[in-house]
Structures are given as C-alpha cells and as structure tokens.
Amino acid sequence: MDYIAKPFQIEEVLARIRYQFQAHQNRHRLQLENARLQRENADQRHSLTQIDHSYQLLSQVFNCLADGIAAFKAIRNPQGEIEDFQWLMGNSALVDWLGRSPTELAGITLSELLLDHPNDDMLDLFIRVVEQHEALQYELLCEPDGRIPLWFELMASRLGDGLVARLKNITEYKQVVTRLQTMISDLQVLTTQDGLTQVANRRTFDRYFQMEWQRLARMREPLSLIMADIDQFKRFNDLCGHVVGDQCLRSVAQALAEVVKRPADMVARYGGEEFAILLPHTHLQGALQVASQIQARVKALRLAVQHRECEQVRLSLGVASQIPNRQGCVETLLTQADQALYQAKRQGGNQICLGTVDPEAEISFQPRYEEALAEEEE
C-alpha cells in the first residue's frame, strides 16, 4: 500500500503505480526463482542420496567379492618414466590376503608391497600394462612360511595413468589340475604298460614297432627283434601255482629290462609267457649279444619255490634283424623272429636261434651292441 498526499499530481500517481507494478513483478519473479532453487536443491539432495546409496551398494559389492581387487596410480620421474605404483584403493579380500590394515595400505607403493612377496617381474609387467596398453594375465605362487602354498591368478588392465588389478585364488583349481594330470599319467601308464610285469604291453609294442619300422626305413638303418619264451611255463604253473607263475613273469620281465637299457629299445610282454625285445639301430651281431646277455641274466635267476626243478628259469630266444624298407612290413621281421623262436623250442629250448637274415644285415663289420650303448650313454 502506497499513500499519496493531496493535492496530487497525475505524474506522481503514474510513477507510484509503475513502481508498485514493478515491485509486484519482482516479488513474483523472486518467488518463482526461489521455488525453482528449492526444487533444484531437493533434486540435488535426492541425487546425492541416490549417489550415496549407490556408493554404499558398490562398496558392499566391492568388498563382498571373493577376488582381491586394487587400483594403483603410476609414479613417474621428471623424465615421465614410471618408477613405481601407488596404492589407491583395494577391497576387503585383497586387504586380508596382504595381511595389512587399510590405513597401512593407504598410499603404499608397489615396491613396498613386494617386500613381503618378492617378485622381480611384477613391476615390469605393471609398467607394460600402462605404457603398452597390454592386458595382463599371470599366475603367482605364494609360499607363506609354514603354510600351504597358494596359487593366484593376477589380471590387470590400464585405468587412466594407472591400472586396476584383480587377484584370484586358484589354489583349489591348481590342485584339481594336478590331480587330473596325475590321473591322466596313471591312465597312460595303464594303457601302455602290462599290468603284471610293468613292461610295455602288446598294443604299445605294435604301435612302436610300426613307427620304428617307418622311421628306420627312411634312414636305411637296421632294426632287430628278439622273441623270448619261458620254457615249460605251463608245467611251472601246474606245479607251483599261478601266484608263483606271476612272480616268475615279473622276475623275467625285470631281468630283460635290466639288460635292455638304451632309451630307444623296448621290452614288451607279447602274450602269456612270451616277450618281445625291439632294438632299433642294431645289427644282427648286436642283437645276438643282447640275446646272450638276456639268457645269462635269466639263467642266474633263482626262484624261491617248493619244487627244485622250478628254481631255475630257462628261456628260448629267436633273433632276427633287417633293414626296413617302405615296400615291406613289420610282419616280415616278426615272422623271422617267430620262426627262430619256434626252432629253439623244437630243439629242446634254453637256446638262441637265428631267423632268416636280411642280406643287408651282415654280421661282420658291424659295431657291437655294447659299444653302441656306451656311445649313447656318453
């Protein structure tokens, strides 16, 4: 309300009216602006509340993760080169694994952290992540004093002028992998070895025989085969029983393995009481030497049995040698050795017979088996 003294002038009245009108408009604008600011303030408070809730939720998620997570900032020298990394933040899992409080970790450098867990590669790997934008995946083995060794998988990627790293405990996974590898190794042994005698089985021998035949055919090198059979083994089993018979087979197989020492050679149980000895890079003279050594070694065996006639084991052997060719097949050499073995059995056993000799596998002028073995051992 504005008062005008009498008498009044029309100009004054109009000025007063304009003033009142403008004041009213200004008050109205101020009220609108104040309402707008209040709404904005309310919206901001609501947004801040939502941000706070989101932060709390993210913090809970961050700290509930089983994997350890941490962020690091690069520390650069005046030349711009990264010298170290500074800890920015980390979740509860990682803090627990490191065995330090959040206060102790605040601002700590990577080099200081590695004092407890030395790893010369870690700093270089982190630098490559930041400078070369390389994603990192790395397995770490931690061996705490007096505690079970722990395996971790470390993954890192660039984040600004720093990186974020994830540390995952893969100890159980590594233990499972180790058990699986052991099982696979055991299965491989079961599929390649004879369960009773622990030498190669027939399947492994056949595969290796074929492989060596093809290899030596390309090299034009000799391949020798010895077939060995325990004499009168059926009578041995009948008199002493199958348990003692099995022990006899194991003893003979061990004796063969002790004579046949070169890595490329193979001793295999061919079937029943019959064994096969494959000798790559061995001419007939060397194969005869091995056969003689085998016979002497088996003859020296003395089994603890009730029947004296079964104490000494006797062995018949058939020996054959050939330089393989690509047109031929392994059955040729196998037949030669088999025929020689059957000849030894027909002649009363406990002897060595030769199969049909390949003309290219002459006995003369060939290195002795013992000399070849000495050369391989050197």
Alpha helices in the chain (DSSP H): 10-64, 92-98, 102-105, 110-113, 122-131, 171-192, 202-219, 233-240, 242-259, 284-299, 330-346, 369-377
d(CA 54, CA 58) in angstroms, rounded, equals 6
Q: Which of 273, 274, 371, 377 is catalytic?
A: 273
Q: Are 253 and 276 in contact, with CB atoms under 8 Å apart?
A: no
Calculate the alpha carbon distances from 322 to 19, 150, 220 in Å.
Answer: 127, 55, 10
Please compute Rg for the chain using Cα positions. Answer: 44
Q: How far apart are CA 63 and CA 365, in angstroms?
A: 79
Question: Inter-axis angle of helices 202-219 and 171-192, to 10 degrees?
Answer: 80
Q: In b/e form, how buried is each residue of 221-260, taking b as 16+ CB within 10 angstroms?
A: ebbbbbbbbbbbbeebbeebeeebbebbbebbbebbbebb
Classify 286 as helix, strand or coil: helix
Distance between CA atoms of residues 96 and 224, nearest Å: 65
Q: Which residues are within 8 A (CB) of 302 and not within 5 positions of it... i.e. 6 or more apart?
A: 311, 312
State the DSSP string of 82-118.
EEEEEEEEE-HHHHHHHT--HHHHTT-BHHHHTTTS-
The answer to whether residue 104 is catalytic is no
Cα gap 56→116, rounded to integer Å: 32
C-alpha 368/C-alpha 242 separation (Å) is 39
- The SS3 call for residue 290 is helix
Cite the active site residues: 273
